[in-house]
Structure 1
Amino acid sequence: MLLNCHSFFSLRYGTIPEESLLELAQQNGYRCLALTDINNTSGCLNFVRMAPRYGIRPVLGIDFRSGIRSKYVALARNNQGFQELNRYLSEHLHHKKEILDQAPPFANAVVIYPFETLLDTEKNQFLDHEYIGISSQDLLKVRFSRLYQHQDRFVILQPVSFRHKKDFNTHRLLRAIDENTMLQKLTVFDVANENEQMLPIEELKARFKDYPNLIYNTEKLLESCEIHFAFGEGRQHQNLKVYGKSAQEDYEKLRSLSYNALGYRYGTGVDDRILDRIAMELDLIRQQDFVPFFLVNHDIVSYASHKDYYYVGRGSGANSIVAYLLNITNVDPIELDLYFERFMNLYRKNPPDFDIDFSWKDRDDITRYIFEKYGKNNQAALLATYNTFQHSAAVRELGKVFGLPTHEIDALSDKKFDPAKLDDLSKLVLRYARYLQDNNQPNHLSIHAGGVLITEKPIHYFSATDLPPKGYPTTQFDMVIAEDVGLYKYDILSQRGLAKIKDTLEVIRYNRPEAPAIDIHDVKKFKVDPNINALIRQASCIGCFYVESPAMRMLLKKLEVDTYLGLVAASSIIRPGVAKSGMMRAYILRHRFPERRLDAPPELLRLMEDTYGVMVYQEDVIKVAHYYAGLTLAEADVIRRGMSGKFRGRAEFEMVQTKFFENCQHKGYDPVQTQQIWDQIASFAGYAFAKGHSASYAVESYQSLFLKTYYPLEYMVATLNNGGGFYSQELYIHEARMRGAQIQAPCINHSEAETCIAGTTIYLGLQMLHQLELRTIQQLLQARQQEGPFSSLNDFLDRVPISIEQLTILIRIDAFRFTGIDKKTLLWKATFRLNKSPNKTPQKQLFQNQVKDYKLPQFQETFIDNAFDQIELLGFPLCSPFELSQEPIPPGVMSSQIHEFINLPVTQYGYLVTVKNTRTNKGETMQFGTFVDQNGDFIDTVHFPPIVKKFKLTGRGLYKIQGKVTEEFGFLSLEVSAVERLDMVSRV
């Protein structure tokens, strides 16, 4: 009876989650319900998935609107009709077309024109699939309308958008947000009617009792509509089913590619274990119908290799030897004894997972290639994500709607207010912000970080698509629903670490042409290189992928990591959940003190001997659930997925959780031990890596570490040109200097747009000057390329069109230092020259113009002036920050000496690099600081809550740090008792 129901995916309009809508319909006696969100299909598949749980037969449609005004509601008679509607809506969304008054002649969908809408048109002829929607409010008018003659076309159209008054109030706020106006300026034409609430079915029928034919038409129409998608156990995957001409040809191709690569990957070391693993995997891949999935991924990485694009294949797919042989990953699952069942097994219903990282410079071309090859028949799309209202965004939007001043909105957003002093409007803002947040209210759709769908059926079979700025069709549902219906994404991601590797190799070829050829993929050699492993043991990994952060430096030292396998483990142990659960500490203890390995329950030690009975990888969740608790592999995988948070709370997860405890009780395990093991799973499974994923990260780390070990300056140049990494660019410049580089400020004759190197001299790139325009850089470089280096300021001005503001930046950074003229004199000369004759497009002169040279007084140029110019233009000084202390730095203990002061109080002086805020179990703030001392070595500090409250770290600068030297597993840090910021020199 309800043909026009809106969920909260009627963005900035509706307020009801799909499941709440179904629950409400069940409570009110309905057995069939149509979801018709406004110009959106985000909720459709999940609505169909959950409907049977509430005894509801689902119908899908779309409320086509122009602004808030409904033009018509269209319902799909079947799946083909849903595809028609999606295709039609997508056409309008892609090209930003206005929804027309007249619907097209859908073959498998019906169209319902609201009675009020038709009154504003001259339409008086109706096709078989067209109906007139009558609400209870329309009943008084309908008898006297020209449309009364079409009673056979009448159906009930009673919109549902709200559950109660609070939902309606929220709707008004959402409309004001959408209109970017204050609440008081909304008119009745900007919002829905408050009566768009669900009536019990008997009450709805009672309202139309005088029109029994209308009730009959509505029921008959609903009966004619049926939609079906398979979910859960019964679903088949909906990805591309055939890669080539036939399934058999695809399998032969995959088999051939695998066996032909044996020589490259294993040389003469091929044995039965390898051959058996290949045969097992190929058989399972074929049974699961994932042959095309492997071939598409192989095609993508083959294109990348052809284009000389660097990539890393990771995710649980790295557990597959077939993926290793096809060069999708660079991880040998035989070497690491990777658990293939984590990636694929007969009972796992969710998809295999390849995450392929490309350089941030290359990914766009990879995406283009995928859509050009696989998207021609509307079979490729990007995945969406839902951006929901979080506290800060909700408060800011609502604050504007209620007309609060900016400073009050800021205070509410940052939670810096006294609740007792809030006025009624501020309380309303907070109340409705919390309501939006608790309701998981979608604000707008965005694009998944890297998810791409390649489907067998056209994508509009499942969803309408948007066309965001990236220019590729994007679904209106997210990855969770995609997986539910059998659409398995290809993860095409980007990261800067790969660009650093590629760029370093180019810099080496330019700066050190005599260097031997480098095979950056020869990771087996890197793994056993003592110099590389020494760098890891020393935790001297600044700039290197995934191993440079303070937390990782600490872990590497505590674990004394100096092997590839050790780095693989560290890559997963560092994840938040492992540390939170106490498993990080347990692992370190058992690693350093073998006798502590007996602390592990014997059953777990047998399952996870290589990690000392500690759950470190996602596979460990499956192993414990399957072998320890006796769950099936399918049930074990439900636990692994459920712990991610996206699936927690689903009925299937709750059932498996109950069975976990029941099985453990039946096996006679100690209930306390069972609870502890479950708590460990719960605390880390959503954050831990698959072992193959960690191994992939470790491979990239070794590639970075090789370059850092043997070509440190070139590697730091590439790091700077790719936006740095965990730290600011200042620290990477510091690291280059520590490795022997001479750092030069940007220079008009030596610098490029990016940072460059000549021998051991590094010239910072012109693009590092914050206010220097790209056009200025391009014109400068073009002039230098055409006619060679500049000989003087006048020569520069004769050849480069530039404003006095842009020229001032170059002079202040001392980019004309080759002239031997001080900056102040240059500024005077530049001002005189450009004020007298503005520098437009220079004309090539046959003879050099003579410029009158005025005699100027002798200017004083100070070291302090230069440093402050650098801070303003680059963001940091190029000298040691300790040279900018107002007072001489007193003697203090250097980091190289603190091992002599364990458990003793010391005073250190450091320049703040970074600080990490975290919370204790009591919710109090504590901090971990990273400083460098005068020798350039790191100082690691711990600030407990009382110290954080008393002594603030107020941003970058020099600090006097007092505390006690502590040692844990060989890692030394300073437990701070007091910290004081030192005064810096001021510019006169």
Structure 2
Amino acid sequence: MLLNVHSQYSLRYGTMHIENLLMEARAKNIHQLVLTDINNSTGCMEFIRVCRKHGAGFEDRHGVYWPPYQFKPIVGIEFRRDEQLLYIGIAKNKEGMKELNDFLTLHNLNQTPLPFEPPKFQNAYLVFPYGKRNKLAENEFIGIRASELNSLAGKPLGHLQHQLVVLHPVTVKDKIEYRLHQYLRAIGLNTVLGKLTEKDTCKPDEVFIDELELRAKFECYDFIVSNTQKLLDSCSTDEYTFGKKNKKYFTSSAEEDLKLLIQLAMKGLGYRYGTDNKEALMRIQSELKVIADLDFCAYFLITWDVVRYGMEKGYYHVGRGSGANSIVAYCLKITDVDPIALGLYFERFLNYKRSSPPDFDIDFSWDEREDIQNYLFEKYGRNHTALLGTMSSFKTRAVIREVGKVMGLPKSEIDDFVDPSKEIANRNNPIFKKIMAVGTFMNDMPNQRSIHAGGILISEEPLTYYTALDLPPKGMPTVQWDMYEAEAIGLDKYDILSQRGIGHIREAVKLIAQNQQKQIDIHDFKTFKEDPNLNAQLKAGTPIGCFYVESPAMRQLLKKLGCDNYLTLVAASSIIRPGVASSGMMKMYIQSYHAPDKVKYLHPVMEEQLGDTFGIMVYQEDVIKVCCAYAGLDLADADILRRGMSGKYRAKVEFDRLAQRFFSKAKAMDREEAVTAEVWRQISSFAGFSFSKAHSASFAVESYQSLFLKTYYPMEFMVAVLNNYGGFYQRWVYVHALQQTGAQVNLPCVNHSDAEVNIEKDQAYLGFIGIQGLENRLVELIPRERRANGNYADLEDLIKRTGLTLEQALILIRIGALRFTGKSKKELLWEVHNHLGNSNRPVAGNELFRLPVKPYALPALATDLVEDAYQELELLGFPLSISMFDLLKTPYRGDVLAKDLDRYEGKIVKMLGNYVCEKTVHTSQNSKMWFGTFIDSEGDFFDTAHFANRTPVYPFRGKGCYLILGRVLMDFGVPSIEVMQFAKLPIVDNPVLQT
């Protein structure tokens, strides 16, 4: 009898998860209900599936068995405008749900408000709130609450008698959740709790009540109950099935798809291996059979078509993911990873028991991906194509901020509550305790819908059978649920991703052609991986700017391994991941790498299966190998375990069952219990963070391409890094790296700079993009006007040709962009007020005749490098004229330099370092510690470790130079400093503030 049930997907409104919602309905003996979340259909398919699960009986995550209980799931959408209920749509069937989704989608995509007058639905009902409508169509009803029944007394109902239905909305579970609902509403309305009105929230009685109790409330109007029951009886979701929903064919049939796939694969086989490689031929034939039998031909061909389109446009791509284990993918040029050369494990990629196709992550440059997405939308149609959504949830810090705001707390107090350095003091604060109490209910609740990093869905049916579509800022239709729901429905995503590393490579190649007139074959990977100069840079751990190998942790790992070859880099790309590193396996791997003859294998199976990695699980494939060989699990079960540990599997009950099976089957094979426990500990340590070997190999290929450019063309490469918005570090680090290549890095100049950084020979000019506060219009206009009509003569010329305002002119002067005039900043600041210091704005444009300006004399105005540095800090985020060390009040630069640290092992040293970055980690005792990265006065990197017992509060105080006292520790030949004392040093005062 419940026509209007809200779940948590009624964002910042409903409080119940769908599973909890149905458990509450069971407790109240309710068998029919309609899920109608507000302006979305996110939970509809999940609702249908969970209802069916209850109908079959199930075991919950606590191991409790729940016997079958029959629910009749009905779905719809509650439509609201400006927070006010318009009408409730209830789908009669699958076509009705499509009509409701189409209607909402139309208004979402066109960004128009929902109409007060709804369209005529053929397969859906509409329920209007009581008192809001008189004239009704055949499929329209008036919903009346029990509290509103008195208003019917004595009124002739006439034609309305057959169109009145019970309206008992459900939004919360109980009084506690009603209070939570009030917090959510205040957050959603961006107001404080005290300002909420009755219209802003649901009614306190919007809870589940027993159906008999609900019927009793309407006993004097039994026809209303009868109308409601007829409506419910006429609705069904039985047409919904969950299985393969992706586009079936790339061509016109499965036969044609297979024919084309074989043709393309064989052509690629000749390109990759030649015509007489029997091993490659056998493997490609074996793979093609599995792909055809599992009906994945279209999936491969659509992915191939994406790559083909990109290559025809001149785009560079990197193919990775488990699909890179496939020789078919290699021959189709989806990936550049040779699975035979690397011994990649085919069953990690695909096996006969796998229901979904493997992952292909196709990376394009960050500024080319949108064109690829548009191609897919145009080719497969906007009714069948959409971006994959995601659901962001409330997390602890966000909860503290949001709840604090609606409680009316000042920003300063909220900032204190999220300040890690005040964590201990906050624990005893009663207001903080109250916030955290609310947070226990709110944590992990859905907060807002967003876009998946790169997933695209291409379905056989129109997607609106399953979801309404949103139009996020990305500007492309997006489904209203996430990858887990897509997989449950039967839709497999195509991952079209972007990364800046590809942009670095692409632009560096272009700059080299322009600046040095050399053409680079960046795909000559076989030469790159054997180049001793590239491998020397890997071993030295100096690949700043290079994709995936530039982070502090990765640089240290490369140095600890003495990594000087491709295969070691492939392994390093995976063992750096948190799952391997945190389990202690990374340290064991480094030890074993340097002393392979001393390796003690946990079990002969580990030596047999993992000999190449010294008995240590490094790749996701290793989980499958060990589960099969050690415990006798079949490939499908082993892959489910692997997926469960990678966070991509939601069926926890089945996962737990397989974990138990691992132990029982190992015991049946007479494995020692202690050994089995340790094997399982190592397996579970992967915890969602390890890579497949093919994935790591793909990353390593791109790393080598970046290394080649950085090694032989360092200036152009670092400019490309800067122009593609850097990588792991802040922008100033890459400017520093550019300076270290020998380039002369200049501040922006209106007669030399472009929007981005440019370079000619060894002269690099920072671009206008990096200047804080400079309008986007001027970023593009200043260089465009200069190219069209020549250099700017002076300030007045610049003003007249670009229409500069006073505010924008001041920014350009203060950053030094008019130094070509030969005048000081202060002279120019004086002059600009003569031109723009009144209300009349000059009109941009060229003058036929230019009248000379009368000269005038100014007193001598002093210039100051420190003042310039402060202005650069403000406008660029870092000083360029002088270094941060030169801004210090002290001339002291430390007793030891980074290059000499290895001579001081075990000794206490005092150093000065310019802060680069930090990382917070939790120890096994659940206390916090920090790792820092700094640059010394000679420009070399060094690393620090800050333990909680030495540093009881959060140690870092933002950008600047720090005085560091600590003991030098050596780990596999790599020094770091265990910090004992640590303080940020003051810089000299701004001269402007002293006058």
Q: 1:180 to 1:900 in 2, by over 3 A?
A: closer
Counterpart CA distance in 2 for 1:390 and 1:57 is: 34
Aligned pair in 2 of structure 1 residues 76, 891: CA closer, same or farther (>3 Å)?
closer
The superposition leaves residues 833-864 of structure 1 with CA deviations (integer Å, 9 ceiling, x where unpaired) of: 55489661356445542222223334433433
Q: What is the CA–CA distance in structure 1 between the aligned matches of 2:494 and 2:506, rounded to whole Å?
A: 24
2:10 is the counterpart of 1:10: yes
Give the Cα separation in 1 of the matches to 2:411 and 2:983: 33
Q: Is the 8 A contact 1:927 1:948 kept in 2?
A: no
Alignment check: 8 A CA contact 2:319 2:336 kept: yes
**Corresponding position: 1:300 with 2:306:** yes
Residue deviations 1:854-910 (CA, integer Å, cap 9, x gap):
233344334333333332332222233333333333662222222222222333332
Does 2:698 correspond to 1:700?
A: no
- Partners in 2 of 1:90 and 1:316 — Cα distance? 34
Cross-structure match for 1:432: 438
* Amino acid of the structure 2 residue aligned with 1:196: E
Cα drift, residue 619 of structure 1: 1.4
1:93 alignment counterpart: 108
Q: Give the alignment partner of residue 312 of structure 1, picking from 318, 334, 347.
A: 318
User: What residue in structure 2 maps to residue 46 of structure 1?
Assistant: 46
TM-score when normalising by structure 1: 0.93
- Letter paired with 2:307: V
SS in 2 for 1:399: helix
Structure 1 match to 2:416: 411
2 CA distance for matches of 1:743 and 1:66?
54
**For 2:309 and 2:404, how far apart are their aligned partners in 1?**
50
Computed over aligned residues only, the root mean square deviation of the Cα atoms, in angstroms, reads 2.6
Counting only pairs closer than 5 Å after superposition, residues 172-183 of structure 1 correspond to structure 2 as: 172-183=182-193
Q: Are the counterparts in 1 of residues 74 and 91 from structure 2 also a CA contact under 8 Å?
A: yes
1:247 equivalent to 2:254? Answer yes
Aligned mates of 2:756, 2:51 — CA distance in 1: 57
Q: Could you say if the C-alpha distance between residues 410 and 930 of structure 1 is closer, same or farther in structure 2, counting changes exceeding 3 Å? A: closer
Which of 322, 329, 339 is 1:323 aligned to? 329
Contact 2:102–2:464 (CA under 8 A) maintained in structure 1:
yes
Structure 2 distance, partners of 1:307, 1:441, is 43
Is the 8 Å Cα contact of residues 325 and 349 (structure 2) preserved in structure 1?
Answer: yes
Distance in 1 between the 2:366 and 2:954 partners? 40
Decide which moves more: 713-722 or 145-154.
145-154
Alpha-carbon offset, residue 213 of structure 1:
5.4
Distance change (3 Å), C-alpha of 1:333 and 1:147:
farther
Which has the larger displacement, 36-45 or 839-848? 839-848
Q: Does 1:512 align with 2:516?
A: yes
- Taking a change above 3 Å as real, the CA distance of residues 225 and 628 of structure 1, as seen in their structure-2 partners, is farther
Q: Secondary structure at the match of 2:857?
A: coil
Q: Distance in 1 between matches of 2:969 and 2:315?
A: 46
Contact 1:230 1:485 in 2 (8 A): no
**By how many angstroms is 1:459 displaced?**
0.2
Alignment of 1:485-634 (within 5 A): 485-513=489-517, 515=518, 517-634=519-636
Please name the residue that 2:177 is paired with. 167
Aligned residue among 479, 485, 489 for 1:481 = 485
CA distance in 1 between partners of 2:563 and 2:397 (Å): 41
Partner Cα distance (2:811, 2:36) in 1:
58
Aligned partner of 1:884 in structure 2 is: 887
Whether 2:235 is the aligned partner of 1:225: answer yes
One-letter code aligned to 2:202 = A
Partners of 2:93 and 2:239 within 8 A in 1 = no
How far, CA to CA, are the matches of 1:248 and 1:32 in structure 2? Answer: 45
Structure-1 residue corresponding to 2:469? 465
Task: For residue 341 of structure 2, give the secondary structure of its aligned residue in structure 1.
Answer: helix
**Contact kept in structure 1, 2:365 and 2:498, CA below 8 Å:** yes
Give the counterpart of 2:146 among 124, 127, 136. 136
**Which of these residues, 440, 448, 451, is aligned with residue 447 of structure 1?**
451
Assess if the C-alpha contact under 8 Å between 2:427 and 2:433 holds in 1.
no
* 2-structure distance, mates of 1:629, 1:589: 27
Matches within 5 A, 1:51-200: 51-54=51-54, 55=69, 56-67=71-82, 69-100=84-115, 103-114=118-129, 116=130, 119-123=131-135, 126-127=137-138, 129-142=139-152, 144-147=154-157, 150-200=160-210
Q: 2:169 is paired with a residue of what secondary structure? A: coil
Q: Give the direction of change, closer, same or farther, for the CA distance of 1:427–1:871 in structure 2 (3 Å limit).
A: closer
SS at match of 1:599: coil
Corresponding letter in the other structure for 2:936: D
1:572-598 deviation line (CA, Å, top 9, x unaligned): 111111111111111111111113422
**Once the two structures are superposed, what CA deviation does each residue of 1:185-217 show, in whole Å capped at 9, x if it has no partner?**
333333222222112233334444555555555
What percentage of residue pairs aligned between the two structures are identical?
Answer: 46
**Which 5+ residue runs of structure 1 have no aligned equivalent?**
none
> In the alignment, residue 386 of structure 1 is paired with which amino acid?
M
Q: Is 1:357 matched with 2:363?
A: yes
Change (3 A) 1:710 1:419: closer
CA distance in 1, matches of 2:793, 2:837: 22
| Residue aligning to 2:22 | 22
User: Counterparts of 1:828-839 in structure 2 under 5 Å?
Assistant: 828-835=830-837
Q: Deviation string for 1:499-540 (max 9, x for gaps)?
A: 111111111111101x2x211122122111111111111111
* Greater shift in the superposed pair: 694-703 or 850-859: 850-859
Change beyond 3 A, Cα 1:837–1:80: closer
Question: TM-score under structure 2 normalisation?
Answer: 0.93
Kindly tell me: are residues 29 and 780 of structure 1, through their superposed partners in 2, closer, same or farther at Cα, counting changes over 3 Å? closer
SS at match of 2:78: strand
CA distance in 2, matches of 1:402, 1:885: 42
Asked if 1:339 is matched to 2:345, the reply is yes
What's the CA shift string for 1:785-828, capped at 9, x where partnerless? Answer: 23323444555456443234433333333334444443333433
Alignment of 1:728-807 (within 5 A): 728-793=730-795, 796=798, 799-807=801-809
User: Which stretch of structure 1 is more off in the superposition, 166-175 or 786-795?
Assistant: 786-795
Match of 1:688, SS? coil
Shift of residue 543 of structure 1? 0.3
Q: Give the distance between the partners of 1:427 and 1:920, measured in 2 at CA.
A: 25
Is the contact between residue 951 and residue 978 of structure 1 (CA under 8 Å) also seen in structure 2?
Answer: no
Q: Secondary structure at the match of 1:628?
A: helix
Shift of 1:78: 2.4
Q: AA paired with 2:897?
A: M
Tell which deviates more after alignment, 504-513 or 148-157: 148-157
CA contact (8 A) 2:318 2:363 kept: yes
- Give the direction of change, closer, same or farther, for the CA distance of 1:833–1:684 in structure 2 (3 Å limit): same
Cα distance in 2, alignment partners of residues 927 and 465 from structure 1:
43
- Contact persistence 1:142–1:148 (CA under 8 A): no
Equivalence for 1:726: 728
Aligned residues: 973
CA shift in 2, pair 1:523/1:81, >3 Å: same
Counterpart of 1:260?
267
| Residues 180 and 740 (structure 1), Cα distance of their counterparts in 2 relative to 1, 3 Å cut | closer
User: CA 1:110 to 1:873, structure 2 compared with 1: closer, same or farther past 3 Å?
Assistant: closer
From the superposition, tell whether residues 409 and 282 of structure 1 become closer, same or farther in structure 2 (CA, over 3 Å): same
- CA 1:529–1:848 in structure 2 vs 1: closer, same or farther (change >3 Å)? same
Between the aligned partners of 2:346 and 2:428, the Cα distance in structure 1 is 59
- Counterpart of 1:680 in structure 2: which amino acid? Q
CA distance, structure 1, for counterparts of residue 889 and residue 432 of structure 2:
45
**Structure 2 contact 647–687 (Cα < 8 Å) conserved:** no
| Distance (whole Å) between structure 1 residues aligned to residue 13 and residue 4 of structure 2 | 14
Q: State the one-letter code of the partner of 1:241.
A: K
Letter aligned with residue 711 of structure 1: Y
